[in-house]
Structure formats: structure tokens, C-alpha cells
Structure 1
Amino acid sequence: MLFAFSIAPAGLATDSVSDIVADAVRVVRESGLPNETTSMFTTIESETWDEGMDVIKRAVEAVQARAPRVSLVLKADIRPGYSGQMQSKVDRVESVLGEE
């Protein structure tokens, strides 16, 4: 299962939130799940719904510890029995593009 999510602190006196967002990314990386962080989202791949949602919950809690309000955007590709899809999906698109 793939989970793409964005966690953003709100209600702060500053627009600079990178240090708080880094707390969430740290939780993700320490989880040991395959992950990728881009400018807008973090993607993780887990074997189960509970495993993925646990990491997301802990990442939200890390941000919540430092901000009075938290925004979460979440997208999931729930496809039991498949693994390695975080890279495989990209590889399939690149393969098509390479054929053009």
C-alpha cells in the first residue's frame, strides 16, 4: 500500500515551518518503511493499512507537539498483495516514455 501525505503546522507566528516538518519526516525515516520526501508530499509503502497509518499518526503527533493546529492531506493506493510499487509505478511510466 502506498500512502502519500503532507503534514503542515498552522497557527504559528512565523511562516518558516521547515524545522517542524523535519520532525515529521524524521518519524517517517525512523519507521524503516520505504519512503520518499519531495517538496510537496512524503510517500511511504507499507504491507498493511495499520502499519502505514501508524507512521502517519506518529508524524502528525510530532508536528502537533510543536504547533497549535495541524493540516493533513492524505492519498492512499490500497492494493494488497503488491510491494515495491513506489518505484515500479514510476518505472512503468518511464518505460512508456522511453518507447516514444
Structure 2
Amino acid sequence: MIVAFSVAPSTSDADGSVHDAVAAAVRVVRDSGLPNRTSSMFTEIEGEWDEVMDVVKRATEAVGRYSGRVSLVLKADIRPGHTGELDGKIGRLEKALETAAENNVE
């Protein structure tokens, strides 16, 4: 499964920044050893249900150390028997875009 999630404290420091808390969450994800990537809005992680959800829980707890209230947004692609989809889905998308460009399809 692939989970895309965003976790942040509901309160921030004086300038509205939440980067320290988010960095703590991303550190948990990266230390997990599971395939992952982080963009400006979400972190994606791939693995089995229990291991992925454990990482999401620990990342949320890490953010909780910065605030008494935490916001978590989560979206999951649950597809048993498939692995390598974190990169596979992007590869298929890029190929479709390339094919469309070659065929002058909009």
C-alpha cells in the first residue's frame, strides 16, 4: 500500500512556521527504511498496512511533542500484491505523457 499523509501541529511558533515539527515527522519516516518521498505538501510511504500505519503513528507522535493538538491528513492506495508502486505509478504516468506527446494528443 501507499499512504500519502500530511501531519502538522495545529499551533505554530510566532512566525507561523511548523518546519521543525514537520522535520521531526519526516525523520521518523526516513528512519523507517520504507520507500518514501516528501514533497512540499505530503509525504508518501510504501509498505504493508501495519508497518506503514506504525510509521504514520510515530510521525504523528513526533509532531505532538511540538503542540498539544495535531492535524493529520491521510490518503491510502491499498492494492494487495503490488510493490514498487511509489515509483511504478510515476513511471507509467511519464510514459503515458511521452506517448501522448509523440501522438500529438492533448
Q: TM-score, normalised by structure 1?
A: 0.95
Q: Deviations over 1:4-59 (max 9, x none)?
A: 0000111234311101110000000000000000000000000x211100000000
Question: Given the alignment of the two structures, is residue 20 of structure 1 paired with residue 3 of structure 2, yes or no?
Answer: no
Runs of at least 5 residues in structure 2 that lack an aligned partner in the other structure: 101-106
Question: Given the alignment of the two structures, is residue 97 of structure 1 paired with residue 97 of structure 2, yes or no?
Answer: yes
Find the counterpart in structure 2 of residue 39 from structure 1. 40
> Is residue 12–residue 68 contact of structure 1 (8 Å, CA) maintained in 2?
no
Q: TM-score, normalised by structure 2?
A: 0.90
Runs of at least 5 residues in structure 1 that lack an aligned partner in the other structure: none
Percentage of matched positions with identical amino acids: 60
Equivalenced residue count is 99
CA distance in 1, matches of 2:12, 2:94: 41
1:62 Cα shift?
0.2
What is the RMSD of the two structures over their aligned residues, measured on CA atoms?
0.9
Q: Which has the larger radius of gyration?
A: 2
Question: Given the alignment of the two structures, is residue 86 of structure 1 paired with residue 86 of structure 2, yes or no?
Answer: yes
Moved over 4 A (4+): none
